[in-house]
Chain A
Amino acid sequence: MSAPIDDVPGTPPAEPTTPPDVIGPPPAEPAFVPKAEGVPPAPQPAEPQPAEPQPAASGVALDPTGEPARPLLAEAEAPPTRDLPFSFTGTAGEYFRIWIVNVVLSVLTLGIYSAWAKKRTRQYFYRHSVVDGTGFEYLADPLQILKGRVIVAVLFAALFGLQAVDPALYLGGLVLFVIATPAMLVSAMRFNAKNSAWRNIRFHFDADSSDAYKLYLNIFGLYIVTCGLAVPYVQWMWFGFVIKNHRFGEQSLEWLTRATDVITLYIYMVPMFIVVYVLFIGGMIAIGSAAALLPDTVTGGVDDPKAVEDIISVASIVMLPLFYAGLAVPGAFFKARMANLMFNGIRVGSHTFRSEQTFGELLKIYLVNLVALVFTLGLAWPWVKVRLAAYRLSRLTLVAQGPLLVNAGAPSADASALGDAAVDFGELDLDLGF
Chain B
Amino acid sequence: MTAPTTPAPAESDAVHVAVTWFDGQTSAGVAGTLTLWAEGHLTLRDALGRDLVATGEPGPLHPDDLVVAPPLGASARAFHLGGRGRGETQDLAALQALEERLGRGMRGRLLARVESAWPLVVVLALTLILSTVAVMRWGVPWAAEQAAMALPASAATQVGHGTLKLLDTTVLSPSKLSAARKAELRDRFRGLSQPYDHLPLSLHFRRGVGPNAFALPDGTVLLTDELERLASDDDQILAVLAHEIGHVHHRHGLRMALETAAMSVLFAVMLGDASEIGNVTAGMPAAIAQAQFSQAHETQADDFALDVMMHAGIAPRHFAVIMRRLQESVAPEAQPDTRDSDAAGASPSARRHRAVKRVQRYLASHPPTGERLRRFERHAASGADDARAPQAPSGQGAAP
Residues on A lying within 8 angstroms of B by beta carbon are 32, 34-35, 39-40, 42-45, 48-53, 55-60, 62, 90-91, 93-104, 106-107, 110-111, 114, 117-118, 120-121, 123-124, 127-128, 134-135, 137, 160, 164-168, 197-201, 249, 297-300, 304-307, 309-310, 313-314, 317, 324, 370, 373-374, 377-379, 381, 385, 404-408, 425, 427
Contact = CB atoms under 8 A, between A and B. Distances in A.
Nearest to B31: A58
Interface string B23-34: 111111111110
A324 B278 CA distance: 12
A55 B18 contact: no
Contact of A39 (B50, B76, B270): B50
Contacts of B347: 297, 300
Contacts of A373: 277, 280-281
A408 B24 contact: yes
B356 to A, nearest CB: 5
A124 to B, nearest CB: 6
A103 B24 contact: no
Contacts of A298: 348-349, 352
Residue among A42, A96, A104, A135 with max Cβ neighbours from chain B (10 Å): A42
Contacts of B30: 42-44
A40 B348 CA distance: 87
A93 B72 CA distance: 13
Interface residues of B, number: 85
Contacts of A164: 158-160, 254, 257
B376 to A, nearest CB: 22
Contacts of B269: 103, 106-107, 110-111, 114
Contacts of B49: 55
27 contacts: A44-B20, A45-B31, A59-B47, A100-B128, A101-B111, A104-B128, A111-B269, A120-B72, A121-B273, A123-B69, A134-B20, A166-B161, A166-B162, A167-B166, A201-B24, A249-B26, A300-B353, A305-B334, A313-B360, A324-B280, A374-B281, A378-B274, A378-B281, A381-B274, A405-B26, A405-B28, A408-B24
Contacts of B275: 427
Contact of B25 (A35, A49, A118, A198): A35
Interface string B100-130: 0000000000010011111001001101100
A32 B125 CA distance: 51
Contacts of A110: 269
Contacts of A50: 18, 91
Given A42-B46, A94-B115, A111-B268, 14 more contacts: A35-B26, A44-B30, A45-B31, A51-B16, A53-B18, A57-B47, A90-B75, A104-B124, A106-B270, A127-B72, A199-B29, A305-B333, A385-B274, A405-B27
Residue among B69, B273, B333 with max Cβ neighbours from chain A (10 Å): B273
A141 B127 CA distance: 30
Given A39-B50, A165-B161, A49 B31 contact: yes
A142 to B, nearest CB: 11
Contacts of A97: 115-118, 121
A407 B25 contact: yes
Contact of B28 (A34, A56, A309, A313): A34
Contacts, number: 223
Contacts of A51: 16-18, 91, 93-94
Contacts of B94: 51
A377 B349 contact: no
B52 to A, nearest CB: 8
Contacts of B268: 111, 425
B90 interface: yes
A160 B256 CA distance: 13
Contact of B48 (A40, A93, A299, A385): A40
Contact of B349 (A53, A91, A307): A307
B48 A55 contact: yes
A249 B281 contact: no
A56 B45 CA distance: 12
A98 B274 CA distance: 13
A373 B280 CA distance: 8
A42 B282 contact: no
Nearest to B217: A164
B161 A310 contact: no
Nearest to A304: B349
A80 to B, nearest CB: 20
Contacts of B171: none
A100 B119 CA distance: 12
Contacts of A304: 349
B265 interface: yes
B85 interface: yes
B3 interface: no
A120 B108 CA distance: 12
B335 interface: yes
A42 to B, nearest CB: 4
Contacts of B128: 100, 103-104, 107
Contacts of A118: 272-273
Residue among B91, B163, B352 with max Cβ neighbours from chain A (10 Å): B352
Contact of A408 (B26, B89, B118): B26
B272 A306 contact: no
A314 B86 contact: no
B73 interface: yes
A317 B158 CA distance: 39
